[in-house]
Amino acid sequence: MKKLEELYPGIDSDVLIKSIKINSKEVEPGDLFVCTMGVTADRHDFIDDAIKHGASAIVVSRDVGKKSVPVVKVPDTNRELPYLCQKFYDYPDQKMKMIGVTGTDGKTSVATIIQTLIGSDICGYIGTNGRNCAAFTGDNPNTTPDADKLYAYLNEFVGYGCKYTSMEASSEAFFRGRLQAILYDVSVYTNITSEHLNIHGSFENYVTSKLKLFQQTKKDGFCILNHDDEHFKEVLAACNGEVLTYGENADSTLQIISYKVYPTHTMIQFQYRGEQFSVDSPLLGDFNVYNLAAGLLTCLALGLRLDVVLPRIQNIKISGRLELLNTKTPYYVMVDYAHTPNGINKLLNFVHTLDIHRSIVVIGQAGERDYLKRPKVGNVVVENASYAIFTYEDPRSEDPKDICEDIIKELKETHQNYEIVLDRREAIQKAVDMAEEKDMVLILGKGNETYEKLKDKTIYFNDIEEAYQAVANRNIREGVPS
């Protein structure tokens, strides 16, 4: 806890601040409520609600009149928030090596790989799969959370003895200013394809937001870049630290010499500074060869030795990514987070290298997000899968039927290998019921997330659990012993 006058020396108030909040519904007695401007709400409108819940002080950027608690006025509450949180939690980001991972695809995988290779006893993770280190596992409302939560999480890691944080750094987080106070020791770039245009307005703006990670890298830090990605040169020009590269390009710092993907593992030959070495990776797919390369090069940049890091590769497990469920059925069920055209295309191409018959895909697209991406997703799914079932996926305020119609609007005259089942639970059940021997059911878009955002509420929903239940339901109907 801190006194208000410690955070704002010009304010003559010794009121104690227990925590910082920007959502009035989450305010507890002793919290400092910061009235940021949200995507759809001005939190100045919720001051009275915050005070009712026990806020001990308020930070504003416009006149709000006299209140029953101290009011601090600043020029811009959104810009103020990360620096305020940084100060309140005694600069936890400066007590650890900060590793940021950005890109359209692969952020979760690379951030998790890095944590595993460094060791979760000293490295925390923040991203789509929540937040965790060896000592605990917790939820996370966003890929990259708002600053009030982010700095609380970083402070948790410091308290548990972490020396590193491996975090997903989304373009939206940079666009919203959530990360502006952090200087990164290592920044990692996976790839860039079109995404989140509803937020950024244009592809150029999207790329600009991504580049902020590399501009916020310390001068004595490292920028880890995918040499083979088409936007490599743009990212390179933005780098503030020492640049190290990975890829099949012969000029790469860590070169991918060759690899062979097997049904259960991948053999890879790397070359680092003139020396070659082999890796037996539990990760599948060519995209995971690149993800592992990014993680390995990050560890090498941080000074970790190969003989220490390489044995840890066998411990890598990325929840909700290429997760083949143990259904004990003659057909297969896999859950993956793939939701972009590029990610889906790579996933389906990989799946069809396996010894399977048909691929049956369950997928939707998020509401209030990039609507231009929807028909692209529809096209890539029906062109690469045997059959597609389009369904809802975090529809928010949009009608799920309208979203699905956007997905299929370019397919109606050209393809028949799809249908719409709006209810996601029913869609998963339909896919499982369709599956025959050696068919692969792919449930895409959510991975191991535990929620669905509907029009007026957020419900608990987990694709992995739903898939197991759908298999159990089918087994019961068919009299298959459990």
Of 403, 373, 399, 404, the residue nearest 388 (C-alpha): 404
CATH topology assigned to domain 2-75: 3.40.1390
pLDDT of residue 141: 75
Whether the Cβ atoms of residue 32 and residue 4 lie closer than 8 Å to each other: yes
Q: Which residue matches tokens 């595993």? A: 116
> Please, what sign has the CA dihedral across residues 319, 322, 328, 333?
positive
> What is the percent of the chain where pLDDT is above 70?
98
Which strand (E) or helix (H) includes residue 477? helix 463-478
pLDDT at 384 over 90: yes
Which structure tokens are listed for 387? 């059959």
Q: What is the pLDDT of residue 201?
A: 57
CB 214 within 8 A of CB 130: no
DSSP letter string over 174-242? HHTTTTTT--EEEEEE----S--HHHHSSHHHHHHHHHHHHHTEEEEEEEEEETTSTTHHHHHHH--SE
Backbone angles phi, psi at 25, to 5 degrees: -70, -20
What does the buried/exposed string (b/e) look like for 277-290 if buried means 16 or more CB atoms within 10 Å of the residue's CB?
eebebebbbebbbb
The DSSP output letter for 58 is E
Q: Which of 171 and 384 is assigned the larger pLDDT?
A: 384
pLDDT in tens, 73-97: 999 999 999 999 999 999 999 999 9
pLDDT above 60 (res 200): no
Element (H, E) at 124: strand 123-127
Q: Is-above-0.85 flag for pTM?
A: yes
- Which residues in the chain are classed under CATH 3.40.1190.10? 92-315
- The answer to whether residues 48 and 73 touch, using CB atoms and an 8 Å cutoff, is no
Say which residue the tokens 């840890």 belong to. 312
Higher pLDDT: 286 or 200? It is 286
Q: Which of 172-176, 407-411, 412-416, 426-430 has the highest mean pLDDT?
A: 426-430
pLDDT above 90 for 210: no
Provide the pLDDT for residue 41.
Answer: 86
Give the model's confidence band at 199: pLDDT under 50 very low, under 70 low, under 90 confident, else very high. Answer: low
> Would you state the pLDDT for residue 211?
92
Residue 198 pLDDT = 52
Give 213-229 pLDDT, tens digit per residue.
Answer: 999 999 999 999 999 99
**Exposed/middle/buried for residue 35 (C-beta within 10 Å: 0-12, 13-18, 19+):** buried
Closest CA to 358 of 435, 281, 423, 290: 435
Tokens of residue 374, six digits:
């929807």
Is the pLDDT reported for residue 439 higher than 90?
yes
Token pair, residue 430, equals: 């339909």
Q: What is the pLDDT of residue 149?
A: 96
**Dihedral class, residue 322 (left if φ above 0, else alpha if ψ from -120 to 50, else beta):** left
Q: Which residue, among 178, 190, 188, has the nearest Cα to 143 in the 3D structure? A: 178
Q: Give the span between the Cα atoms of 113 and 348, in whole angstroms.
A: 22
Topology annotation, domain 92-315: UDP-N-acetylmuramoyl-L-alanine:D-glutamate ligase (3.40.1190)
Ordered strands of the 275-281 beta sheet: 136-138, 130-133, 123-127, 164-168, 97-102, 184-189, 217-226, 242-247, 254-261, 266-272, 275-281
* Pair type for strands 164-168 and 184-189: unpaired
Examine the pLDDT at 413 and tell me if it is beyond 70.
Answer: yes
User: Confidence band (pLDDT; 50, 70, 90) for 173?
Assistant: confident
Count of alpha carbons within 13 Å of 332, Cβ hemisphere only?
19
> From CA 238, how far away is CA 225, in angstroms rounded?
11
Q: Over the stretch 239-285, which tens digit does the pLDDT of each residue have?
A: 999 999 999 999 999 999 999 988 789 999 999 999 999 999 999 98
At residue 40, the pLDDT reads 76
pLDDT at position 374: 95
**What are the residue ranges of CATH 3.40.1390.10 in the chain?**
2-75
Residue 482, pLDDT above cutoff 80: no
> Can you tell me whether residue 90 is helix, strand or coil?
coil
CATH 3.40.50.300 describes domain 323-477: no
Average pLDDT, the chain: 94
DSSP-based three-state secondary structure for 143 = coil
CA distance 171 to 235: 14
Q: Is the predicted pLDDT of residue 195 greater than 80, yes or no? A: no
- Kindly report the three-state secondary structure assignment for every residue of 418-470: EEECCCHHHHHHHHHHHCCCCCEEEEECCCCCCEEECCCCEEECCHHHHHHHH
Where in the chain are all domains bearing CATH 3.90.190.20? 323-477
User: Which H/E stretch holds residue 257?
Assistant: strand 254-261
At 142-163, the pLDDT tens digits run 788 999 999 999 999 999 999 9
Residue 325 φ/ψ, nearest 5 degrees: -80, 150
Q: Kindly indicate the confidence band of residue 193, based on its pLDDT and cuts at 50, 70 and 90.
A: confident
- What share of the chain has pLDDT > 90, as a percent? 83
- Which residue is associated with the tokens 């460094």? 118
